[in-house]
Amino acid sequence: MTSTFQFIETKEYHKFVEFCDSCAKYKYIGVCHGLPGVGKTVAAKNYSKWETISPTVTKVRSLNQRKNDKIPIEIAQATTIFTTAPPVKSANLYNELRNLAINLRYSKKSLAIQENKISEEEAQEMSKHLIYAEDNEPYKSVELVIIDEVDRLKLQTLEILRDIYDQNNIGMVLIGMNGLEKKLSRYPQLYSRIGFSHEFKKIAKTELQHILEYKWQEVGLTISYEDFEDYEAINSILKLSNGNLRLLQRLFTQIDRVMEINNLQKITTEVIEVARKLLIIGTV
């Protein structure tokens, strides 16, 4: 059994990708809203390949200091930066986004040097221009900025985001709970710049059944719809998770744990019930 979970590209994820691509292409601010746990944050991180590139992009290092860094090849095509709005001192968001944008640019150049696409002499000359770019063109390598948990931000910080958008030729995606769009409508100067709105919905029952096949594989089992116990277990999980990806993943973590502790080789309604009792489940 394993607790490693693979990202599954759902229909809602594909809609989110189209939404983000449009914001980047047309240089608009987009608002993505939805219930907690439906997969907004996971989708944003997967779209930006953030789990892969963030260890490099979050390091504040000059081009020379990055010379021997192990830089993922995904950096070469990366044009999106992602961050989560901080719960306190939200005004620091300006510097955080700026640093991420600059670090992405340095990382791209460092990868080019490592792949011998740029000579050492060119790198030295480039380093001078990059220092200049830190002050004048920090977002040159960025096409899209994604900010999660925007509900936390107050007017002052929202104005900072508007200023970043106005000063740079980029798209921007603001992610939050249902009602975010209504909240932003109170700030006309920012709201007038919103070009797209997208609701990230729960996963449909038919698609969730497909996802469950992968979840069975993740805990080392195969699913059989002819087996009544499997059929009963599937229906139990469908009812319990109600299309909520976060709850589904948390539930399977506990199912995996219960089966390992008790040396079980089958997911049954009894196993699911024990796993459910180990979770704190709110409204889904």
On whether both 58 and 195 belong to a single domain, the answer is yes
- 260 lies in some domain: yes
Burial 226-247 (b: 16+ CB within 10 A, else e): eeeebeebbebbeebbbbbbbb
On whether both 237 and 107 belong to a single domain, the answer is no
On whether both 64 and 117 belong to a single domain, the answer is yes
Q: Pick the last residue of a domain from 182, 199, 216.
A: 199
Domain range spanning residue 34? Answer: 11-199
On whether both 91 and 142 belong to a single domain, the answer is yes
Given this model, what pLDDT does residue 173 score?
A: 98
- 55 lies in some domain: yes
Structure tokens at 159: 């104005």
Given this model, what pLDDT does residue 174 score?
A: 98
DSSP one-letter string for 56-123: HHTS---TTTTTT----GGGGG--EEEEE--SS-GGGHHHHHHHHHHHHHHHHHHHHHHTTSS-HHHH
On whether both 21 and 56 belong to a single domain, the answer is yes
pLDDT digits (tens, 9 = 90+) for 31-66: 999 999 999 999 999 999 999 999 999 887 666 666
- Residues in the chain predicted with pLDDT less than 70, given as ranges, are 1-5, 61-67, 117-120, 122-136, 280-284
Give alpha helix (H) positions in the chain: 11-26, 40-48, 50-57, 93-114, 120-136, 155-167, 180-184, 188-191, 205-218, 228-241, 245-261, 269-277
- 5 lies in some domain: no
- 122 lies in some domain: yes
CATH of the domain at 167: 3.40.50.300
Q: How far apart are CA 83 and CA 92, in angstroms?
A: 12
On whether both 134 and 235 belong to a single domain, the answer is no
Q: Pick the last residue of a domain from 151, 184, 199.
A: 199
Given this model, what pLDDT does residue 221 score?
A: 79
Helix (H, G, I), strand (E, B) or coil at 173: strand
CATH of the domain at 214: 1.10.8
Q: How many structural domains are present in the chain?
A: 2
Shortest CA distance to 177 belongs to which of 196, 149, 214? 149
